[in-house]
């Protein structure tokens, strides 16, 4: 019963619909945790935990889903990091966390970088280097002509 429900929730997490709420992701993670606890062997439990983490990771990297949905997947992965630490060695744990952080930095840029493309804020913040050099020369010439 758990595996069928887990599979249904996994599909719901991977394919966000307009009527779905973020609670679907929470339900998927909680159901996966319950399924892992009922596993008979440690290997099966480890497989179930990594199934959850891989699903959330792949969903986080899907550009067709909303930013809010993908950011919540990242939050849930971060909540599962203590479990990852218990399942694998320190070296592999650091590799997994580094991979997740790298993917998050690429697929989920900080909100400061998400400015509107037509706002023109980039042009105001970064003037052309040639324009700056021309202005500096003009200021120097006016200063020299006033002092002479």
> 103-117 pLDDT, tens per residue?
999 999 877 655 555
Summarize pLDDT for 26-51 with one digit per residue, the tens.
Answer: 999 999 999 999 999 999 999 999 99
User: Quick one: pLDDT at residue 110?
Assistant: 79
- Cβ contact 79:63 at 8 Å: no
Q: What is the DSSP string of 90-110?
A: HHHHHHHHHHHHHHHHHHS--
User: Quick one: pLDDT at residue 50?
Assistant: 94
- Cβ contact 28:10 at 8 Å: yes
> How many of the other CB atoms lie within 10 Å of CB of 9?
21
Query: Scanning the structure block, which residue is given the tokens 């006016």?
Result: 142
User: Quick one: pLDDT at residue 123?
Assistant: 44
Domain chopping of the chain, boundaries: 2-115
pLDDT > 90: what percent of the chain? 57
* DSSP letter (8 states) at residue 61: T
- Cβ contact 57:45 at 8 Å: no
Structure tokens at 44: 């099966």
pLDDT averaged over every residue in the chain = 80
Residue 93, pLDDT > 70, answer: yes
Q: What is the mean pLDDT of residues 66-85?
A: 93
User: Quick one: pLDDT at residue 125?
Assistant: 43
CA-CA-CA-CA torsion sign (47, 48, 51, 56)? negative
User: Quick one: pLDDT at residue 19?
Assistant: 78
């Amino acid at each position: 019963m758990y595996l069928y429900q887990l599979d249904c929730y996994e599909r719901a997490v991977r394919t966000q619909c307009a009527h779905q709420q973020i609670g679907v992701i929470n339900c998927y993670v909680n159901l996966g945790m319950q399924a892992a606890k009922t596993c008979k062997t440690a290997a099966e439990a480890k497989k179930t935990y990594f199934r959850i983490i891989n699903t959330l990771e792949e969903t986080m990297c899907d550009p067709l889903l909303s930013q809010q949905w993908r950011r919540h997947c990242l939050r849930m992965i971060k909540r599962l990091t203590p479990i990852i630490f218990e399942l694998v060695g320190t070296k592999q744990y650091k590799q997994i966390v580094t991979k997740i952080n790298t993917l998050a930095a690429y697929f989920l840029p900080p909100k400061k970088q998400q400015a509107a493309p037509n706002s023109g804020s980039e042009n105001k913040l970064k003037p052309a280097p040639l324009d700056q050099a021309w202005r500096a020369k003009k200021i120097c010439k006016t200063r020299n002509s006033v002092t002479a």
